[in-house]
């Protein structure tokens, strides 16, 4: 990796799965790793202390949202994300492009960048590749992402030819933006990751990976996935991109996914993950357990003294019953969301920890099958 204070080393493999260590100026990340989503600089209801106790290694914040509130100048003046939030470990910031196109109805993408009206005040905003790098340099994240054009799922409903043309155009634009992003970098102590696009086309993914890699980023992400494609399709496009990416750089699957999606991607050699699923599901009372998904709001748990997952050693399961958690979620007590989020993050961190252990032990394939077997199982 080019950026100062960074290194990436693969320490073990099992098939294409990789066990590694990503060194950043704010600490080491054992990979494969799950990054907790802290959109505005906080993981819903959890303090830095909660996250440390759970074994969180790295957090992800959203460039666009922090640009809107409180603004990167304020974050910078308070010591960047590390000083501002109190989470002193590594931070990754996404580019905000995906959020902008999801949030706003009035979005125009042209060669210059993305123009949209702010959902906050309706005013016109422009995100350019250079601007997005500048914002992330001010935020002071350890890893910045380039601005890319991610086609929205709705585009996949169109005629094949139209989708093809849109994909080709978006891909071309994303590559030119990537080059502008690389040229815009000023900070030497911040890694920048390029983003591979191309929908579910193997040719496009391979092309995108090859061209992006030629720009020499510190790492590479798979963008535009988790938008309705089949698991097998996803695995194929990830694999074919990896064939074109340098071995010695970290690979990040953006925004995915359920446990099975994560082990699928680990099996293809992905090193980094983020997803809102554990935190969002937690708030809705959907708990990941060793028996499958538990809908803890169900009436059947109203007097259930068991821990949400008796096999789990997280602070929620160690101290609280399903009945109490159900009661807190029913009455809208903020503690309910927090306890459920703590449990789900503990589940994800354990999933990644087990994955690392199984890669080292050469038993990852069997573990992958175990997680797969539990996929979509209801514990209720």
Contacts to its own copies from residues 27-66, by CB under 8 A: 40-49, 65
Q: Is 8 helix (H, G, I), strand (E, B) or coil?
A: strand
Contacts to its own copies from residues 241-270, by CB under 8 A: none
Would you state the structure tokens that stand for residue 223, as one six-digit string? 């963008």
Q: Does 303 bind its own copies (CB under 8 A)?
A: yes
The piece of 194-202, 288-296, 319-327, 360-368 that touches its own copies (CB under 8 A) is: 319-327
Q: How far is the CB of 62 from its own copies (least distance, A)?
A: 11
Q: How far is the CB of 96 from its own copies (least distance, A)?
A: 15
Residue with tokens 């169109």: 158
Phi-psi map region of 258: left, alpha, beta (phi>0 left; psi -120 to 50 alpha):
beta
Q: Does 213 bind its own copies (CB under 8 A)?
A: no
Q: How far apart are CA 270 and CA 70, in angstroms?
A: 33
Q: How far apart are CA 343 and CA 321, in angstroms?
A: 12
Binding residue for its own copies, selected from 214, 319, 363, 377, defined by CB under 8 A: 319
Binding residue for its own copies, selected from 12, 78, 286, 374, defined by CB under 8 A: 78
Q: How far apart are CA 379 and CA 45, in angstroms?
A: 26
Examine the residue annotation and report whether 148 is marked as an active-site residue of this protein.
no
Examine the residue annotation and report whether 274 is marked as an active-site residue of this protein.
yes
Q: Does 84 bind its own copies (CB under 8 A)?
A: yes
Residue 79 or 362 having the CB closest to its own copies:
79
Number of amino acids touching its own copies (CB under 8 A): 41
Binding residue for its own copies, selected from 25, 70, 119, 292, defined by CB under 8 A: 70
Residue 54 or 195 having the CB closest to its own copies:
54
Q: Which one is catalytic: 261, 264, 271, 274?
A: 274
Contacts to its own copies from residues 321-360, by CB under 8 A: 321, 323-324, 326-328, 330-331, 333-339
Q: Does 232 bind its own copies (CB under 8 A)?
A: no
CB 87 within 8 A of CB 140: no
Cis peptide before 122 (omega within 30 of 0): no
Q: How far is the CB of 141 from its own copies (least distance, A)?
A: 16
Task: Look at the alpha carbons of 162, 165, 167, 169 in this order and tell me if their dihedral is positive or negative.
Answer: negative
Q: Does 154 bind its own copies (CB under 8 A)?
A: no
Binding residue for its own copies, selected from 320, 350, 356, 368, defined by CB under 8 A: 320
Q: How far is the CB of 338 from its own copies (least distance, A)?
A: 6
Q: How far apart are CA 99 and CA 274, in angstroms?
A: 14
Q: How far is the CB of 59 from its own copies (least distance, A)?
A: 12
Q: How far apart are CA 236 and CA 139, in angstroms?
A: 35
Helix axes 364-374, 259-267, angle to 10 degrees: 150
The piece of 199-207, 213-221, 227-235, 301-309 that touches its own copies (CB under 8 A) is: 301-309
Query: Pick from 358, 352, 260: which is nearest to 29 by CA?
Result: 352
159-166's contacts with Cβ under 8 Å and 24+ in sequence apart are 163/199
Task: Count each helix (H run) and each strand (E run) in the chain, helices first.
Answer: 15, 16
Would you state the structure tokens that stand for residue 351, as one six-digit string? 């999933």
CB 35 within 8 A of CB 29: no
Binding interface with its own copies (CB under 8 A): 40-49, 65, 69-70, 74, 77-79, 84-86, 302-303, 305, 315, 319-321, 323-324, 326-328, 330-331, 333-339
Active site residues: 94, 274
């Amino acid at each position: 990796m080019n950026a100062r204070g960074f290194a990436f080393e693969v320490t073990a493999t099992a098939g294409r799965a990789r066990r590694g260590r990503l060194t950043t100026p704010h600490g080491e990340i054992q990979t494969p790793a799950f990054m907790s989503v802290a959109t505005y600089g906080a993981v819903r209801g959890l303090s830095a202390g909660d996250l440390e106790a759970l074994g969180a290694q790295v957090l992800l914040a959203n460039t666009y949202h922090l640009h809107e509130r409180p603004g990167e100048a304020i974050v910078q003046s308070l010591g960047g994300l590390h000083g501002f939030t109190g989470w002193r470990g590594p931070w990754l910031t996404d580019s905000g492009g995906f959020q902008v196109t999801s949030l706003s109805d009035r979005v125009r993408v042209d060669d210059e960048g993305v123009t949209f009206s702010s959902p906050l005040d309706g005013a016109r905003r422009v995100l350019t590749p250079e601007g997005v790098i500048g914002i992330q340099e001010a935020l002071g994240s350890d890893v910045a992402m380039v601005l890319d054009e991610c086609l929205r799922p709705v585009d996949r409903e169109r005629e094949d030819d139209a989708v093809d043309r849109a994909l080709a155009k978006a891909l071309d634009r994303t590559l030119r933006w990537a080059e502008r992003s690389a040229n815009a970098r000023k900070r030497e102590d911040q890694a920048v990751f390029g983003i591979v696009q191309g929908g579910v086309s193997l040719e496009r993914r391979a092309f995108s990976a090859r061209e992006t890699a030629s720009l020499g980023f510190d790492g590479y992400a798979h963008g535009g996935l988790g938008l309705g494609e089949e698991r097998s399709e996803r695995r194929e496009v990830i694999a074919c991109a990896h064939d074109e990416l340098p071995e010695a750089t970290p690979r990040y699957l953006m925004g995915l996914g359920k446990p099975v999606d994560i082990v699928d991607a680990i099996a293809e050699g992905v090193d980094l993950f983020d997803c809102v699923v554990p935190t969002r599901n937690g708030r809705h009372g959907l708990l990941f357990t060793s028996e499958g998904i538990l809908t803890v709001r169900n009436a059947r748990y109203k007097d259930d003294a068991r821990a949400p997952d008796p096999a789990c050693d997280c602070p929620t399961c160690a101290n609280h019953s399903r009945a109490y958690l159900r009661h807190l979620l029913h009455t809208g007590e903020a503690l309910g969301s927090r306890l459920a989020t703590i449990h789900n993050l503990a589940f994800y961190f354990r999933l990644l920890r087990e994955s690392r252990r199984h890669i080292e032990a050469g038993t990852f394939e069997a573990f992958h099958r175990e997680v797969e077997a539990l996929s979509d199982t209801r514990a209720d």
